Homo-oligomer: A and B are copies of this chain.
Amino acid sequence: MSDPETSNTPAGRFGKFGLIEHITRETVIYNKSTVTGKGDDSAVIDSGNELTLVSTDLLLEGIHFNLVYTPLKHLGYKAVIRAISDIYAMNGTPEQILIAVGISTRFKVEHLEELYEGIGLACKRYRTDLAGGDTTSSLTGMTIGVTAIGRAGRDSIVRRNGARPNDLICATGSFGASYMGLQVLERERKIYDKDNPVQPDLSGYEYIIERQLKPEFPEKVLKDLAAGNILPTSMIDVSDGLASDLIHLCRLSDTGCRIYHDRIPVDNETWKSAEEFNIDPMIPALNGGEDYELLFTLPLEHAEKIKTIPDVALIGHMTGKEQGCFLVTGEGNEVELRAQGWEKE
């Protein structure tokens, strides 16, 4: 190990995206099949006629999931969604996943069966094949590694770095729901701990809890865009949070952005529960994360056409880089966007 005297730069200092860039800055490429190195949702590999996309993710107990309120079946389902969303976010089609699971002795075969039941359901829903995997022992808790593989056309692949000033910024679905679902689950868990026989009361929170426990991916929007001959200039799946992922698009595309408070889609249930927790609903919407929605940019000429695609909101536009990344409030004030993805974890 390095000299502890000098080993004191906290990993959080660079921010999540900056850290990977910093550490891999000297990476050399040896194979001509390696099209994209780093920074995008997936690795891009030239496999002849088409491009192969590969992404990988780690899910750690206590960080990415809590088994007190996450049924293993839901966890399996969500692990698949998380992985395939990286393939979809490059306008690719996921076709295979590989799952590696590390489990301690407290887990039995029946637990793994439940986990794999959820994996199987998500695979069926998204026509993706479980093509391999492994199990291994762990000292404590459960660790899940998910690798997703997909394909994309040479002319239809969408990267993170193609946005231009004046491009429209579009978002699917709604934001902040998953984060508020987690807050409700956490609250009920605490009540349950103190006063054992009380059953958690989750009625009125069904949507946000489902968004937390069993999210879906808006893959239909990609089909609608393709059918309408609309090719985004850049795209990312929102897993870290709308603000963080938008800033990342801007940084890679060398742009700034303006998004409008009133246009950011937030579900009523998210709004109500945020108020109940005395949280400004814009905080989970911008920084909550785990939304598994798509954020993409389009040339201005698609402004009318995009309104015909269901489930897509036009939330702002790209600007020159020097104009920075800002949220415009209802009163017309500009608030700088901040990435809170890494710190949040």
Q: Taking CB as reference atom, which chain B residue is nearest A138?
A: B60
- Kindly state the separation between the CA atoms of A147 and B44 in the bound complex, as whole angstroms: 14
Give the chain B neighbours of A31 by CB distance below 8 A. 95-96, 127-129
How many Å from the CB of A159 to the closest CB on chain B? 13
- Kindly state the separation between the CA atoms of A129 and B55 in the bound complex, as whole angstroms: 14
B345 lies within 8 A of A16 (CB): no
State which of A45-53, A204-212, A315-323 sits at the interface with chain B: A45-53
B95 lies within 8 A of A45 (CB): yes
Give the chain B neighbours of A64 by CB distance below 8 A. 136
Chain A interface, DSSP helix/strand/loop, else mixed: mixed
Residue-wise, chain A 15-54 has the 8 Å CB interface mask toward B (1 for contact) of 0100110111011111101101110101111011110101
Give the chain B neighbours of A130 by CB distance below 8 A. 24, 27, 37-38
A165: Cβ under 8 A from any B Cβ: no
B1 lies within 8 A of A56 (CB): no
A58 lies within 8 A of B345 (CB): no
A133 lies within 8 A of B20 (CB): yes
Task: With A50-B48, A58-B134, A145-B56 as known contacts, state yes or no: A129 contacts B30, CB within 8 Å.
Answer: yes
Q: Taking CB as reference atom, which chain B residue is nearest A95?
A: B31
B54 lies within 8 A of A98 (CB): yes
A109 lies within 8 A of B56 (CB): no
Q: Taking CB as reference atom, which chain B residue is nearest A136?
A: B58
Which listed residue (B30, B55, B103, B135) contacts A98, Cβ 8 A?
B55
- Kindly state the separation between the CA atoms of A111 and B112 in the bound complex, as whole angstroms: 33
Task: With A30-B127, A60-B138, A96-B34 as known contacts, state yes or no: A8 contacts B132, CB within 8 Å.
Answer: no
A52 lies within 8 A of B45 (CB): yes
How many Å from the CB of A73 to the closest CB on chain B? 9
B112 lies within 8 A of A11 (CB): yes
B133 lies within 8 A of A54 (CB): no
A124 lies within 8 A of B28 (CB): yes
Which listed residue (B16, B42, B50, B137) contacts A47, Cβ 8 A?
B50
A151: Cβ under 8 A from any B Cβ: yes
A227: Cβ under 8 A from any B Cβ: no
Which listed residue (B10, B60, B114, B134) contacts A139, Cβ 8 A?
B60
Which residues of A from 101 to 160 have beta carbons under 8 Å from B?
A: 101-103, 105, 107-114, 116, 120, 123-124, 127-141, 143, 145, 147, 149, 151
Give the chain B neighbours of A20 by CB distance below 8 A. 133-135
B38 lies within 8 A of A132 (CB): yes
- Kindly state the separation between the CA atoms of A6 and B114 in the bound complex, as whole angstroms: 13
Q: List 17 A-B contacts (CB under 8 A).
A: A2-B114, A7-B108, A11-B112, A13-B109, A20-B133, A23-B109, A28-B123, A31-B96, A33-B151, A44-B131, A47-B48, A48-B50, A56-B98, A56-B147, A58-B136, A100-B145, A145-B147
The 9 closest A-B pairs by CB, nearest first: A47-B47, A145-B145, A43-B131, A43-B132, A9-B109, A7-B110, A34-B129, A48-B48, A31-B95
Q: Which residues of A contact B (CB under 8 A)?
A: 1-2, 6-11, 13-14, 16, 19-20, 22-24, 26-31, 33-34, 36-38, 40, 42-45, 47-50, 52, 54-58, 60-64, 67, 71-72, 95-96, 98-103, 105, 107-114, 116, 120, 123-124, 127-141, 143, 145, 147, 149, 151, 345
